[in-house]
Structure 1
Amino acid sequence: MNLTDRVVIITGGAGGIGAALARRFAAEGAAAVVVADLDADAARAVADGLGPVAHAVGLDVTDEEQVRALVADTEQRYGRIDLFCANAGVTSGGGMEVDDAGWDRAWRVNVLSHVYAARAVLPAMLARGSGYLLHTCSAAGVLTSIGDAPYATTKHAAVGFAEWLSVTYRDQGVRISALCPQGVDTPMLADGLAAGHLGARVVAASGAVLTADQVADAAVAGLAEERFLILPHPEVADYARRKAEDPDGWQSGLRKLVRRLRA
């Protein structure tokens, strides 16, 4: 996808990867960039920094009616939606002990929000035979997330849903990509480190933390090539191969890493 003159929606657009995507898409010449976020004021600040090309919307991605309203308003305002970036995400920092409310929040934000977006935008995209969905899924959806059971589980589900969409709709003109970065210097990582979450410590110790702008660069390159898996950290592809070839050895290596960090 060439982003010039495209109409784009980005959820979770007020910070981190979402804000970086908004800036990069605007720089690429997008016709409109809709910055949607639960924090409407922060979304407005990002949009204001991009000039008249951008529009900010307060949005709870777990409310399907709000997602439908956002899509309808954008189509009425700009005539179409070329690219929908389902980027909002949450972590928990916990394991099985995370309560049902925490598991439900992870499921609704990390998975169901992608379902709601697809339900809302696909009819018009399929009718005209073109469109693109970019789902931020994380390398946790390809590998795992040490110390965060809800995140690992729901991100796997997010990759699975994106893959299903691609298999089902690519031949009808709709492209789907799963953006799967590993460590990224965002408020999510900073908050995890401040809380002492094991997963955040693993990421920080890896020495491969990218900036959000670097992830946005990788996303633009992946969209241009219409790749399903967009891996800003290329080593994730090697890790995934090792995991597939030797699951027991892969898990053994992760357990050693956990023991070292806990020591």
Structure 2
Amino acid sequence: MNIDGSVAVVTGAGSGIGRAVAAALAAAGAAVVVGDIDAASAAKTAAMIDGVSAVSDASSTEGIAALLDTARRAFGPVDIYVANAGITGEPGLGDDEAAWDRIIDINLRAHIRAAKAVLPEWVERGRGHFVAVASAAGLLTQIGAAPYSVTKHAAVGFAEWLAITYGDRGIGVSCVCPMGVDTPLLRGMSDSPDEEIRVAGAAVSSAGAVLDPDTVAALTIQAIADGSFLVLPHPEVLTMYRQKGSDYERWIAGMRRFKRTLG
């Protein structure tokens, strides 16, 4: 994908990784629609990068359609879609069924619905690039939060399926799987009044370096330009993933030990 001159949509771009990716895309020459459910945050990012903001629920079919329509009116057909919006959800098993539905909608169905919206046009044109911002939790796990772990696993699985199914038709797919990144999401976990959520945050923060969002964004932009799939801002995740696959029992035992150290 030639980013210079392209049109991009980034969801959850009012802060964190989304804002950094939107800025990096703009710096590379893309016209960017900044999507976020928070109007003030979206407008702030758009002003920073000379983009266009759109207040939208990126988990809904209607919200995605509004983002794409905004892009078409402002810049033209969308070439790059970055499905970045995400939430941590409830700790533990997640007692609230409605909360499970919400995190599945935001962390997974948002990707599925966006792909359904953009792929027909991309297939017809023979080009386009879909970025799924998932998590290392989607390759490994998330201690303390089943809903987050499950939805990030599913997001990785969906991205894999897209890459396999559409890769021969000119469609690029990248899946971003960082560990700790200095974002409002991670800070909210670390500062939560809920002990289980704080443990989940500690698991992320202590597993490796907490990176700046700009670092993740730079690697994501490079993946789009190169047409590569897996983006690992923390390279050690690949070693952990290989250890998991080579000896599942040992990996699970190790994760139990790690959990005990967190309290």
Q: Please, what TM-score do these two structures have when normalized by structure 1?
A: 0.95
**Equivalent residue letter for 2:3:** L
Equivalent residue number for residue 225 of structure 1: 226
Separation of aligned partners in 2, 1:88 and 1:48: 19
Equivalent residue number for residue 3 of structure 1: 3
Structure 1 residues 51-90: aligned runs within 5 Å: 51=50, 54-90=51-87
Shift of 1:76: 3.7
Match for 2:171 among 171, 174, 182? 174
Separation of aligned partners in 2, 1:73 and 1:97: 35
The question of whether the paired residues in 1 share the 8 Å contact of 2:130 and 2:173 is answered with yes
Equivalent residue number for residue 49 of structure 1: 48
Q: Secondary structure at the match of 1:88?
A: coil
Q: Deviations over 1:9-55 (max 9, x none)?
A: 0000000000000111111121x11000000111001101112xx00
The question of whether the paired residues in 1 share the 8 Å contact of 2:33 and 2:70 is answered with no
Separation of aligned partners in 1, 2:86 and 2:215: 18
The question of whether the paired residues in 2 share the 8 Å contact of 1:93 and 1:147 is answered with no
The question of whether the paired residues in 2 share the 8 Å contact of 1:93 and 1:199 is answered with no
Separation of aligned partners in 2, 1:57 and 1:200: 30
Equivalent residue number for residue 35 of structure 1: 34
Structure 1 gap ranges (5+): none
Separation of aligned partners in 2, 1:18 and 1:248: 36
The count of residues paired between Structure 1 and Structure 2 equals 259
Shift of 1:239: 0.6
Q: Secondary structure at the match of 2:5?
A: coil
Q: Secondary structure at the match of 1:56?
A: strand
Shift of 1:226: 1.4
Q: Does 1:214 align with 2:215?
A: yes
Separation of aligned partners in 2, 1:86 and 1:232: 17
The question of whether the paired residues in 2 share the 8 Å contact of 1:13 and 1:36 is answered with yes
Separation of aligned partners in 1, 2:90 and 2:182: 17
**Equivalent residue letter for 2:7:** V
Q: Please, what TM-score do these two structures have when normalized by structure 2?
A: 0.95
Structure 1 residues 115-126: aligned runs within 5 Å: 115-126=112-123
Structure 2 gap ranges (5+): none
Structure 1 residues 92-241: aligned runs within 5 Å: 92-195=89-192, 196=195, 197=197, 198-241=199-242
Shift of 1:93: 4.6
The question of whether the paired residues in 1 share the 8 Å contact of 2:129 and 2:171 is answered with yes
Shift of 1:225: 2.0
Equivalent residue number for residue 17 of structure 2: 17
Moved more, 179-188 or 221-230: 221-230
**Equivalent residue letter for 1:107:** I
The question of whether the paired residues in 2 share the 8 Å contact of 1:34 and 1:55 is answered with yes
The question of whether the paired residues in 1 share the 8 Å contact of 2:13 and 2:42 is answered with yes
Separation of aligned partners in 1, 2:202 and 2:172: 35
Separation of aligned partners in 1, 2:123 and 2:213: 31
Match for 2:88 among 81, 91, 96? 91
Check 1:26–1:184 CA distance in 2 against 1; reply closer, same or farther (3 A cut).
same
The question of whether the paired residues in 2 share the 8 Å contact of 1:93 and 1:192 is answered with no
Separation of aligned partners in 1, 2:215 and 2:237: 15
Identity %: 43
Q: Deviations over 1:117-157 (max 9, x none)?
A: 11111111111100000010111111111111000001111
Q: Secondary structure at the match of 1:185?
A: coil
